[in-house]
A and B are shown apart, each in its own frame.
Chain A
């Protein structure tokens, strides 16, 4: 209260703004807003961090200033701040034999492929492809912006490290891509795509020419012309019904073997009967010839399937999850005889080996700690950033990040067998089953096929008994052509594909399009706390530094530099911009679980944590209060903690206002979760704390089941107990009993889909258990594998937009379905009654497709929530 000015803007406490800063409010490289504390000045320009300034300097020195010109012209978003440009990471290991074997092809040892992180626009393309001009040893760089990969050639095998090193200096990050498995899958996909295109092109050429020739015949060309044109049509149809239509035959054949109906059955029926009948008519010189209808039909169908495939491929990521988790691909292994360390690819790790990690490194295995004691951040598993101390001989889990300087670990389990590996494995399986789940519309299409098939057969017999088999065949072909659900199938992927595209513009990536089916019927919304509802950074929320004397500040700084505690780190970084003297620290002592004390300049200082009386500020989640005392007199208080995102309250209110149940699933402590819940107005019974990733997933499953009407009280008790065991492993247990608080609430939850919004990795199991999993932070590649959608701008508001879009997509799909059904009923019955000839049917079919496409496009124009956004 006494320092409201500092409170509102803690970073401007006591630093003078440089003069030019008023004009340059944003970073010259990445365009981020500048803050007084972190601004770096270089050559009259201002940057948000040293990373940005060093990239700028490098580009300037290389004469590549055009990067900014191109970027400003091409790219309106914000580029990411460069990824650790000055990290000491060396890529020399790439030049060794064991890595060369993994990353290059034997027959082409000079080419290596890289996945590039941080690409956003044409300026990046320009810059990266310029690398050969200033990096000797790199011969060529060819970047593919659709999958962010670069194929790089080098002048000789020992130079592989040159490319990633140069790229890092430019502010991107390059990960070499392994040659085995994935690469060949990708190659196969590419080939498939090319073949599909060729089939379409052949069908287009044949169908186009056939239409021209047929037009002449319809116009009344007779005699010789009619004969030759007919012959030409027949010849042109042959490649279409053999080569182009091959995928349909294949699909029908494989579906018949497993005795399932597919939409391709009527397609093949039309193609084959149409072709045979027409050939026969041509040979006899009488009767109807449908070469034009068949070829146009095949062409349209192939095209629609091609688009469908593109949409699906975008949805299914082919890369294995674990690879991106351990973006580092090598590790220091100890040779047990010589006790020396050497770099080895992670894939070659075996249980029993000892590996060495340095600060910030992620452990690739489950193992036993050999070093005396080290601090690890378990954020991948728990989502919380505060490090945990592990003692010698205890287990450390793969994915944990080392916070101490160095640690040696004995490998116990590797790869899939590690705990995180198992989690990711489950996620993979869940994801597979989710992806195979037929959307409602798919099921309609199959049902539709069956009805059409049955109707066709029945009416063939009815009509042929009433008239003649020839007339019956004609009517049935017209019927199947008209009733073919391909218009429907075409419209569906199109409107989903368009939704995906417009989602990107609005700030979210949608992977699994079946999410749109569910979004409008969401009942339970689960939020992760740290990093999702809150900003996820443990920092100083309030500290009145102006009231402190300079020497006291200096004393606090030097004392906290001695300590490695997260609180100390926050304090040190808070004070790092101030010009402070560095007096000597005497008698430094750690008071366990309370704080630190020391003697500086003859005064005795202590920094102790105290219990918190909650602050009323709307967004602050204070978790720690530190009292600074000099010679026993308290002189200042520091409040540390996390803060809610600005839009959290609004989004939660809006969701609850719409009648959805909002829950918090957190790995954090009870007090923080309760406080968050209170600030957001979420009822007590819907808060869950100290949950492991597995437990979060279980809670969602249980709520899903009970929500569906099965009252599984007993089983809930069991799972609660089971969870408690799981909890013991990571954090102190006591989870099961507390979860039971939520029980009453859960039983009453009415039926509806559940949605989980969380962090990409540590919430992975929960994200896949929920009907709709939305990841809001973490690396895009990682999160996209476990969630249905990823929010790009870290903005909770996008959750609301996503739900709205779900509604509008569902509405469009429903409109398309209704139209489709009505059209098919009307046109189909006319065809069966003999009012529509196959030719008219072949024209009507593409027309109805066009109508549906138009309807899908129109569906994108629905209101975009502007009014609500304005209220924010």
Chain B
């Protein structure tokens, strides 16, 4: 049953590593603005099509 202590150690290590990841993210300000990134993420796809569109128009222009 000693394996339980190992799994316990591993699980706590994982928990702590996630905790540190979270603390790092929070300190970096990733939770300061919860609104904008959500919108920004949605825009990325359009971004690509927009660029190709833009290239197309530029081609046409030239």
| A and B held together in a complex | yes
Q: A66-B49, A145-B33, A197-B26 are in contact. Are A122 and B42 (CB under 8 A)?
A: yes
Give complex CA distance A129, B36 in Å.
Answer: 11
Partner of A198, one of B8, B26, B36: B26
Give complex CA distance A870, B58 in Å.
Answer: 51
Residues in B whose Cβ lies below 8 Å from that of A612: none
Residues in B whose Cβ lies below 8 Å from that of A145: 33, 35-36, 39
Q: Are B32 and A66 in contact (CB under 8 A)?
A: no
Nearest-Cβ distance from residue B33 to partner chain A, whole angstroms: 5
Q: Is A190 part of the contact surface with B, judged by Cβ < 8 Å?
A: yes
Q: Is A338 part of the contact surface with B, judged by Cβ < 8 Å?
A: no
Q: Are B31 and A197 in contact (CB under 8 A)?
A: yes
Give complex CA distance A69, B47 in Å.
Answer: 12
Q: A63-B54, A70-B46 are in contact. Are A205 and B35 (CB under 8 A)?
A: no
Q: Is A144 part of the contact surface with B, judged by Cβ < 8 Å?
A: yes
Q: A66-B50, A202-B19, A209-B12 are in contact. Are A144 and B33 (CB under 8 A)?
A: yes
Q: Is B23 part of the contact surface with A, judged by Cβ < 8 Å?
A: yes
Give complex CA distance A190, B47 in Å.
Answer: 30
Interface digits, A207-241 against B, CB 8 Å rule (1 contact, 0 not)?
Answer: 01100000000000000010010001000000000
Residues in B whose Cβ lies below 8 Å from that of A76: none
Q: A143-B36, A146-B36, A197-B31 are in contact. Are A205 and B16 (CB under 8 A)?
A: yes
Interface digits, A93-131 against B, CB 8 Å rule (1 contact, 0 not)?
Answer: 000000000000000000000000000011001100100
Give complex CA distance A788, B50 in Å.
Answer: 43
Q: Are A144 and B36 in contact (CB under 8 A)?
A: yes
Nearest-Cβ distance from residue B5 to partner chain A, whole angstroms: 7
Q: Are A126 and B19 in contact (CB under 8 A)?
A: no
Give complex CA distance A202, B35 in Å.
Answer: 24
Residues in B whose Cβ lies below 8 Å from that of A342: none
Q: Are B35 and A194 in contact (CB under 8 A)?
A: no
Give complex CA distance A121, B58 in Å.
Answer: 28
Partner of B36, one of A125, A197, A228: A125
Q: Is A166 part of the contact surface with B, judged by Cβ < 8 Å?
A: no
Partner of B46, one of A69, A205, A225, A228: A69
Residues in A whose Cβ lies below 8 Å from that of B34: 146
Q: Are A126 and B43 in contact (CB under 8 A)?
A: yes
Q: A125-B39, A145-B33 are in contact. Are A205 and B19 (CB under 8 A)?
A: yes
Nearest-Cβ distance from residue B19 to partner chain A, whole angstroms: 5
Residues in B whose Cβ lies below 8 Å from that of A74: 39, 42
Give complex CA distance A121, B42 in Å.
Answer: 12
Residues in B whose Cβ lies below 8 Å from that of A566: none
Q: A122-B43, A190-B29, A198-B26 are in contact. Are A208 and B15 (CB under 8 A)?
A: yes
Q: Is A201 part of the contact surface with B, judged by Cβ < 8 Å?
A: yes
Partner of B8, one of A193, A197, A201, A232: A232
Closest to A129 in B: B40
Q: Are A201 and B26 in contact (CB under 8 A)?
A: yes
Residues in B whose Cβ lies below 8 Å from that of A190: 29, 32
Q: Are A125 and B40 in contact (CB under 8 A)?
A: yes
Residues in A whose Cβ lies below 8 Å from that of B1: 225
Residues in B whose Cβ lies below 8 Å from that of A146: 33-36
Give complex CA distance A65, B46 in Å.
Answer: 11
Nearest-Cβ distance from residue A302 to partner chain B, whole angstroms: 14
Chain B residues 1 to 56 lying within 8 A of chain A, measured CB to CB, are: 1, 4-5, 8, 11-12, 15-16, 18-19, 22-23, 26-27, 29, 31-36, 39-40, 42-43, 46-47, 49-50, 53-54
Contact size class for A? 20 to 34
Residues in A whose Cβ lies below 8 Å from that of B32: 144, 190, 193-194
Contact size class for B? 20 to 34
Q: Are A228 and B29 in contact (CB under 8 A)?
A: no
Residues in A whose Cβ lies below 8 Å from that of B18: 205
Nearest-Cβ distance from residue A366 to partner chain B, whole angstroms: 40
Residues in A whose Cβ lies below 8 Å from that of B62: none
Q: Are A194 and B27 in contact (CB under 8 A)?
A: yes
Q: Which of B5, B18, B22 has the most CB of A within 10 A?
A: B22
Nearest-Cβ distance from residue A195 to partner chain B, whole angstroms: 8
Give complex CA distance A126, B46 in Å.
Answer: 10
Closest to A197 in B: B26
Nearest-Cβ distance from residue A298 to partner chain B, whole angstroms: 15
Give complex CA distance A194, B31 in Å.
Answer: 8
Q: Are A225 and B4 in contact (CB under 8 A)?
A: yes
Give complex CA distance A69, B16 in Å.
Answer: 44
Residues in A whose Cβ lies below 8 Å from that of B39: 74, 121-122, 125, 145
Residues in B whose Cβ lies below 8 Å from that of A194: 26-27, 29, 31-32
Give complex CA distance A182, B43 in Å.
Answer: 31
Residues in A whose Cβ lies below 8 Å from that of B31: 193-194, 197
Residues in A whose Cβ lies below 8 Å from that of B42: 74, 122
Nearest-Cβ distance from residue A207 to partner chain B, whole angstroms: 11
Residues in A whose Cβ lies below 8 Å from that of B4: 225
Give complex CA distance A205, B49 in Å.
Answer: 42
Q: Are A228 and B23 in contact (CB under 8 A)?
A: no
Residues in B whose Cβ lies below 8 Å from that of A65: 53
Q: Are A201 and B43 in contact (CB under 8 A)?
A: no
Nearest-Cβ distance from residue A134 to partner chain B, whole angstroms: 10
Nearest-Cβ distance from residue B1 to partner chain A, whole angstroms: 8
Give complex CA distance A587, B44 in Å.
Answer: 66
Give complex CA distance A194, B16 in Å.
Answer: 18
Residues in B whose Cβ lies below 8 Å from that of A144: 32-33, 35-36
Interface digits, A581-616 against B, CB 8 Å rule (1 contact, 0 not)?
Answer: 000000000000000000000000000000000000
Interface digits, A432-448 against B, CB 8 Å rule (1 contact, 0 not)?
Answer: 00000000000000000
Q: Are A201 and B22 in contact (CB under 8 A)?
A: yes
Give complex CA distance A4, B38 in Å.
Answer: 53
Q: Are A201 and B23 in contact (CB under 8 A)?
A: yes
Q: A194-B29, A194-B31 are in contact. Are A70 and B36 (CB under 8 A)?
A: no
Residues in A whose Cβ lies below 8 Å from that of B11: 209
Closest to B50 in A: A66
Q: A63-B53, A122-B43, A190-B29 are in contact. Are A205 and B36 (CB under 8 A)?
A: no
Nearest-Cβ distance from residue A98 to partner chain B, whole angstroms: 31
Q: A205-B18, A225-B4 are in contact. Are A66 and B53 (CB under 8 A)?
A: yes
Closest to A61 in B: B57
Closest to B43 in A: A126
Q: Are B5 and A228 in contact (CB under 8 A)?
A: yes
Give complex CA distance A63, B18 in Å.
Answer: 43
Give complex CA distance A225, B18 in Å.
Answer: 25
Closest to A60 in B: B57
Closest to B1 in A: A225
Give complex CA distance A738, B35 in Å.
Answer: 53
Nearest-Cβ distance from residue B50 to partner chain A, whole angstroms: 5
Interface digits, A165-200 against B, CB 8 Å rule (1 contact, 0 not)?
Answer: 000000000000000000000000010011001100
Give complex CA distance A447, B2 in Å.
Answer: 52
Nearest-Cβ distance from residue A471 to partner chain B, whole angstroms: 34
Give complex CA distance A143, B37 in Å.
Answer: 10
A-B contact pairs, 13 of them (CB 8 A): A63-B50, A63-B54, A74-B39, A144-B33, A144-B35, A145-B35, A145-B36, A145-B39, A146-B36, A193-B31, A194-B26, A201-B19, A201-B26
A-contacting residues of B (Cβ < 8 Å)? 1, 4-5, 8, 11-12, 15-16, 18-19, 22-23, 26-27, 29, 31-36, 39-40, 42-43, 46-47, 49-50, 53-54, 57-58
Given contacts A122-B40, A144-B35, 17 further A-B contacts (CB under 8 A): A66-B46, A70-B43, A121-B39, A125-B43, A129-B40, A144-B33, A145-B33, A146-B33, A190-B29, A198-B22, A198-B26, A198-B27, A202-B19, A205-B15, A205-B18, A232-B8, A232-B12
* Closest 10 A/B residue pairs (Cβ): A122-B39, A63-B54, A145-B36, A146-B35, A66-B50, A205-B19, A145-B35, A197-B26, A144-B33, A201-B22
